[in-house]
Amino acid sequence: MKIYNLKCPNCGATLTTDVKNNYAKCQYCGNEFMISKDTESDEKQSDRNKGKDAAEKETNVSEMYPVEQREASNQRKRKTSRIRDFIIVFLIVTAGLALSLLLDKEKPQDIVPKTNLHHFFMELRLDNTAQDVETLAQKHKLHFFRTEKAVNSDTANVIYYKVAKTNETALDKQGDHAETVEIEFDMTKNNTFKLAVYTDPEHITAHVLLFKYGTYYSLSADNTDLKEYAGYYYYNNSLRSGAGEQKSHPPYLKCADAVEALKKVYTYKK
């Protein structure tokens, strides 16, 4: 037996009743009527319409949802997304720093000298010979010019070297527009190392000096017994005492080594 949802054709009442031999009876007016295939189709269509009405009702309820509550929900979603993005970025940065610390075990060294000429000057020593200078220049792939010349004398008394990055600079074919190292050996004292001067044209008034004995402007150490004069110096004319100053200031500063002297040249401001 099948239960149908029907409408009585006599009184219009909605019925939920069973059907016997294709006949149904209205419990309100007592009318009996026959159930045809069209009636069954109407019933199925009615069921479909009820489902559609329920879906539309749910949609309408959603559209009636207050704007304030929807906005609050969206804000919560945005806040959650921002927190998630922050955590991801934090983890990436932390991992990068950890990897950097693992790979970079040695702290960076703050050393001014960077070129072959810088390193050449740093490796010069007070006991170097003329042959040592030539060997050192070849080691750093530098060019040099050698001659014997007179300094405060009528005859040649100094072996002179000019060392540079290019042969043209060493031969003075490029003027004074490139850094050089000039070295002197005293021929009167068995070709003993006398003086080395590093010059950078970017700092034309400043030099780095390495000398054992001799005279360089107002910096003199002719007496070989004065051991404290030997070493590296930063020389700059602007350090000299100005006119009217009571205290005398020499135009040079003693440095611990070549690196310290070179740093002073590089930090000098015209």
For the chain, the residue count is 270
Pair 155, 253 in one domain = yes
pTM listed for this prediction: 0.56
Pair 220, 254 in one domain = yes
Residue 155's pLDDT is what?
Answer: 92
Pair 143, 216 in one domain = yes
Pair 179, 81 in one domain = no
Pair 243, 144 in one domain = yes
Residue 124's pLDDT is what?
Answer: 94
Pair 149, 261 in one domain = yes
Domain that holds residue 34: 3-63
Strands 231-236 and 143-149: unpaired
15, with CB counted inside 10 A (0-12, 13-18, 19+), is: middle
Pair 104, 133 in one domain = no
Domain count, the chain: 3
Q: Which residues face 15 on adjacent strands?
A: 6
Pair 155, 210 in one domain = yes
Residue 61's pLDDT is what?
Answer: 47
Pair 138, 246 in one domain = yes
Pair 34, 82 in one domain = no
Residues of the chain below pLDDT 70: 1-6, 15-22, 36-72, 101-113, 174-177, 203-204, 217-228, 268-270
Give the model confidence (pLDDT) of 226-251 as tens digits.
Answer: 556 788 999 887 887 777 777 777 78
Pair 12, 74 in one domain = no
